[in-house]
Amino acid sequence: MAVKTGKGRKITWWTRIGFGCGGFIGGGGLTFAHSWLLLYYTTFCGLDAWKGALIFSLATWFDVFESSIIGFISDNFYNTHLGRIFGRRRFFILICIPFFMLYPLCWVRGMSWGYYMVTYLLYDFVDNTFSVTHNTLKTEMSTNYTQRQLLSGSASVASKVVGFITAAFPLIFFSLMGKNNPNSYVMMVVTYSVVMVIAGTIVYLSTWEYSPDQVHIERTGSFWKSIWKMIKDTLSTFRSRTFRWHIAMYVAGSGGLWLMSSISTFNFIYVMKKSTTWAAGLGTIMKPFALISAIFAVWVVTKVGDTARPYIWSMFIVISSMLLYCGIWFFHWQQLAWLIGVAQMLLSFGEGIAYYVPQANYPYMPDVDELITNRRREGIISGAQTMSGRLVRGIVTMISGSVISATGLVKGRMSQPYSVQLGLVLMMLIGVCGMELIAIFCSRHMKADEKNLAIVDKEVKRVHAGGKMEDVDPHVKEVCELLTGFDYKNLFGHNNVGYKDHEVEPAKGHINNH
């Protein structure tokens, strides 16, 4: 079996759909975990809310290290015999596929806290490995701005379809098996595990990556040098001004949505005074709005060539949803089901755009990074982004679980004290809205639009073709400095950014699919 590379390949609708199936992996399993698993732990497994939240937080903090390790290993996997046979990215996608069936082990009742921690950590590691390597492929499959946006958009649209499925599954299984039957949760997770296996297989069959002669072959010579290289390279990604603003947008905007996701079921049951079946039904009905907004966001970004504006729109939409939820509670309007529906519709619409934009921005981070380091570091950058997101998600989940416990949640009871309601409302008003406002501020500093990125791509090609740095056009110089945060004379590796290895083998070719 030869490495499936992108030389001469074209992006087709099958390619976009196949790559987009990756959105069925992390989005679905983690949605089940953060929306239902904590409730399952507290209701059927006898765990305190803070203990369940601690499991998610531990997994996320492990991800901080795992993401960097996975990105580093995949960047350098062509040094191995397996990498040259199966590919440096797609090898990891392939081995993840059968391990998706581990997920139902997290939902076995009557086990200890240690068991739940270990099983969830195993599932999360598999999910993280797939996410980091899958995320790099859209950068390697094409350099064309529109095609990259369409690949990112396909994954975002797929994740919204996943949102619809994960919202529909509880409604279906609760109706068939009963909302108070723990086996209904188990069966929907088993079913979705099969979906993840199928989706992972489609991703593997429909994607490709750089060939060995299109990447730098970097060798460190020893294990400890490799560890030092991984750490230094990962931390050095944040020296890029564009990457810093990108990560700030991502973790602030998504962080607010993750916080809402972690408390959404509690909000419906304890604040909105609705049943689990009603909550699942509303989620199912409203998820198509996330799909519509994601498709709209893809269209806007490909036409306008700018991600900051639609991202800001989405943040204001999410904030309006939170304010409406808080108003419903404050004025005791829980009997107005249509108003709760409007709040959830706004949230779903905002989510569709908010989750798409970071995916749309990522493919260009390695391009700006190459301008600084003169190296292609897709895996390291993907790992750094995933690390940042998982770290914030762990903190957010731990805070939400701790607040719920501190406000007096009574395990196994459908009716909770007023303090629990107040705690949930304050997390929406202060936590979610506050993080979305930070994301709006960061978005205003994102200058990596289509026009500026085209200038960067052209300049990198000019210098790599033998052009002299001193011959740079003044406007091009200004754009390069704006995006990188470095003086132009310190670009193209003329700096101390990242690990330096003077034995790096230069790339022999560059991909250019349209």
Q: Is 217 helix (H, G, I), strand (E, B) or coil?
A: strand
Cβ contacts of 88 within 8 Å, gap of 6 or more? 74, 75, 76, 77, 78, 209, 210, 215, 379
Average pLDDT score over residue span 60-69 = 77
pLDDT of residue 506: 35
CB atoms under 10 Å from CB of 391, counted, come to: 18
Tell me, rounded to whole angstroms, the distance of Cα 161 from its chain centroid.
16
* Residue 119: its H or E element: helix 113-141
Following DSSP, what letter does each residue of 440-464 receive, concatenated?
HHHHTT----HHHHHHHHHHHHHHH
Please check whether residue 483 is in contact with residue 456, taking contact to mean a CB–CB distance below 8 angstroms.
yes
Q: Which pair of structure tokens corresponds to residue 336?
A: 């107005």
pLDDT of residue 177: 82
Least confident of 28-42, 402-416, 495-509: 495-509
Going from the C-alpha of 390 to that of each of 64, 65, 164, 448, the distances in angstroms are: 6, 10, 23, 24
- Amino acid occupying residue 126: V
Is 502 a residue whose pLDDT tops 70? no
State the span(s) of the chain assigned CATH 1.20.1250.20: 13-211+221-448
Q: Give the integer Cα–Cα distance in Å for 237 and 182.
A: 44
Is 285 a residue whose pLDDT tops 90? no
For 334, phi and psi rounded to 5 degrees?
-60, -20
Residue with the two structure tokens 């068939």: 176
Least confident of 275-279, 426-430, 487-491: 275-279
Cβ contacts of 474 within 8 Å, gap of 6 or more? none
Q: Give the integer Cα–Cα distance in Å for 502 and 94.
A: 33
Average pLDDT score over residue span 435-462 = 91
Average pLDDT score over residue span 332-339 = 91
Average pLDDT score over residue span 138-142 = 77
Q: Which pair of structure tokens corresponds to residue 451?
A: 């026009």
Q: Give the integer Cα–Cα distance in Å for 53 and 38.
A: 7
Q: Give the integer Cα–Cα distance in Å for 280 and 268.
A: 9
Identify the CATH number of the domain defined by range 13-211+221-448: 1.20.1250.20
Following DSSP, what letter does each residue of 144-171 receive, concatenated?
-HHHHHHHHHHHHHHHHHHHHHHHHHHH
Radius of gyration (Cα) for the chain, nearest Å? 23
Q: Give the integer Cα–Cα distance in Å for 442 and 448.
A: 13
- Amino acid occupying residue 43: T
Please check whether residue 455 is in contact with residue 479, taking contact to mean a CB–CB distance below 8 angstroms.
yes
Is 504 a residue whose pLDDT tops 50? no
Q: Give the integer Cα–Cα distance in Å for 252 and 74.
A: 28
Q: Is 388 helix (H, G, I), strand (E, B) or coil?
A: helix
- Amino acid occupying residue 249: M
Q: Give the integer Cα–Cα distance in Å for 191 and 89.
A: 27
Q: Give the integer Cα–Cα distance in Å for 450 and 80.
A: 36
Q: Which pair of structure tokens corresponds to residue 506?
A: 């230069």
Q: How high is the mean pLDDT of the chain?
A: 82
Most confident region among 19-28, 278-287, 464-473 by mean pLDDT = 464-473
Pure H helices in 407-432:
418-426
Mutual angle of helices 241-266 and 433-443, in 10-degree steps: 160
pLDDT of residue 508: 37
Q: Give the integer Cα–Cα distance in Å for 135 and 75.
A: 13
Is 2 a residue whose pLDDT tops 70? no
Going from the C-alpha of 40 to that of each of 49, 77, 109, 364, 419, the distances in angstroms are: 10, 39, 9, 40, 22
For residue range 147-165, list pLDDT tens digits in order. Answer: 777 777 777 777 667 667 7
Please check whether residue 77 is in contact with residue 83, taking contact to mean a CB–CB distance below 8 angstroms.
yes
pLDDT of residue 219: 63
Q: Give the integer Cα–Cα distance in Å for 117 and 114.
A: 5
113-119 long-range contacts (CB < 8 A, ≥24 apart) are 113/47, 113/51, 113/55, 116/41, 116/45, 116/47, 116/52, 116/55, 117/55, 117/58
Average pLDDT score over residue span 436-452 = 91
For the chain, give the longest Cα–Cα distance: 72
Please check whether residue 89 is in contact with residue 137, taking contact to mean a CB–CB distance below 8 angstroms.
yes
Report CA torsion sign: 368, 373, 377, 380.
negative
